[in-house]
Amino acid sequence: MPIKNRFADMLPEITGWRHYLHENPELLYEVHETAAFVADRLRAFGVDEVVTGVGRTGVVGIIRGKNTRSGRAIGLRADMDALPIHEATGLPYASKVPGKMHACGHDGHTAMLLGAAKYLAETRNFDGTVVLIFQPAEEGGAGAKAMIDDGLFDRFPVDEIYGIHNAPGIPVGTFVTRPGPLQASSDDFEIIVRGKGGHAAEPHRAIDTTLVAAHLLIALHSIVSRNVDPLKRVVLTVGTFSTDSGASNIIPDEARMRGTVRTLDPEYRAIAEARVREVATHTAAAFGASAEVIWDPGYPVTINDPQGAARAVDAARAVARDVIDDADPIMPSEDFSYMLEKVPGAYVFMGNGDTPMCHHPQYIFDDEAIPYGCSFFAELVAQRLPTA
């Protein structure tokens, strides 16, 4: 079945919004102009309520159906923030802000949800309430969590929630998702090893911090290979390693390393943290040094509710060219995970054709995908909030 015809008619208008947002990228919580643009459009569509400043700069729009006898509500979410990347696409509507770019297609996500909002406000052909959620700070700022902490689901309760992310490398018109874990959690750590600095020619008078840290680095790599069920998916990478020695003849006082743990199994977040702490403390102690571990928990595992995924697949099948319902999970993380921890639902990937990867300076969101995303949202509402 094709996209909804109304969105084909609306495509030039929605594309115009997308290009405006693309020219004016904003980072993290500083999405003031973007949020104002979204709120202005929603008011112009005549949605019933527009609330700004949720989770600092998030925007919520409420659309009530022809009736609300079902008492049910569905949440639809888009992210609004851009990335600190200097755009290199050469597009006529390229970023006007040096060093900032919508390189993850959140401009497209926002424009598609606005398109769906305009359609839903016009038609109201559903029984219940649609809660439109435009969040700031998906790119590392946990904007979804900020909105939840600001009472998002207490003030605007929903029974189910859905979101879309574009996916380069998948044909336009194809939707991809799966039940269960879809994207990994992301936790960072820093370890500071403290030995006893001294002269490189007299190591017996020092505690060689570099050597201790080197043993520790290797020991950390035993965690995934020796403490994790081989059938589970966990990655541990140490990305930085440095000491405060400035020369070859100095044994340093201090060494630092920073790393990340990614997993699709929430139980391994706690196991990995406990093991990193144990391995660091005891490895350092074995050499007479000490280790301080700073754990920085990041985004949780993005877990699709099985029923939510099935419902998303049903809606996608009604509007897409192709639907893959048993995709492999991916290891990059996503803060829609916080919303899926609170409300059952699903995240879906929508094909963005053959463009460079997200977060690449030549990444391009494909405007031809817009009617599919809008149709998916509208179809979800039609299926999940049917009129009698």
Name which of 35 and 191 has its Cβ closer to Ni ion. 35
Name which of 140 and 197 has its Cβ closer to Ni ion. 140
At closest approach, how far in Å is the CB of 104 from Ni ion? Answer: 3
At closest approach, how far in Å is the CB of 98 from Ni ion? Answer: 21
* C-alpha atoms less than 13 angstroms from C-alpha of 113 in its C-beta half-sphere: 31
The rounded distance, in Å, linking the Cα atoms of 118 and 7 is 10
At closest approach, how far in Å is the CB of 340 from Ni ion? Answer: 15
Name which of 19 and 102 has its Cβ closer to Ni ion. 102
Q: Residues touching Ni ion: how many (CB under 5 A)?
A: 1
At closest approach, how far in Å is the CB of 10 from Ni ion? Answer: 24
The residue count for the chain: 388
Work out whether the CA dihedral 140, 146, 149, 153 comes out positive or negative.
negative
At closest approach, how far in Å is the CB of 359 from Ni ion? Answer: 8
Footprint of Ni ion on 71-110 (CB under 5 A) = 104
Q: Which helix (H) or strand (E) holds 343?
A: none
Name which of 102 and 269 has its Cβ closer to Ni ion. 102
**Which residue, among 19, 20, 56, 68, has the nearest Cα to 134 in the 3D structure?**
56
SS (H, E, C) 64-81: ECCECCCCCEEEEEEECC
- Scan for tokens 């999940």, then name that residue: 384
Q: What is the C-alpha R_g of the chain?
A: 24
- Scan for tokens 């639907």, then name that residue: 323
At closest approach, how far in Å is the CB of 68 from Ni ion? Answer: 32
Site map 322..341 versus Ni ion, x via CB under 5 A? --------------------
Q: Which helix (H) or strand (E) holds 173?
A: none
At closest approach, how far in Å is the CB of 76 from Ni ion? Answer: 16
The rounded distance, in Å, linking the Cα atoms of 282 and 278 is 6
Angle (CA) 381-53-165 rounded to 5° is: 45
Name which of 32 and 359 has its Cβ closer to Ni ion. 359
The tokens describing 233, both together, are 């998916």
The tokens describing 127, both together, are 């029984």
Pairing of strands 185-194, 174-176: unpaired
Per-residue DSSP letter, 356: P
Name which of 10 and 27 has its Cβ closer to Ni ion. 27
At closest approach, how far in Å is the CB of 25 from Ni ion? Answer: 13
Q: Per rule CB under 5 A, is residue 146 in the interface with Ni ion?
A: no
Name which of 104 and 309 has its Cβ closer to Ni ion. 104
Exposed/middle/buried for 253, CB within 10 Å: 0-12, 13-18, 19+?
middle
Question: CB nearest Ni ion: which residue?
Answer: 104
Name which of 139 and 160 has its Cβ closer to Ni ion. 139
Alpha helices in the chain, H assignment, sequence order: 5-23, 32-45, 106-123, 143-149, 152-155, 209-227, 267-286, 306-319, 336-342, 370-384
At closest approach, how far in Å is the CB of 332 from Ni ion? Answer: 9
Name which of 104 and 220 has its Cβ closer to Ni ion. 104
| Site residues for Ni ion per CB under 5 A | 104
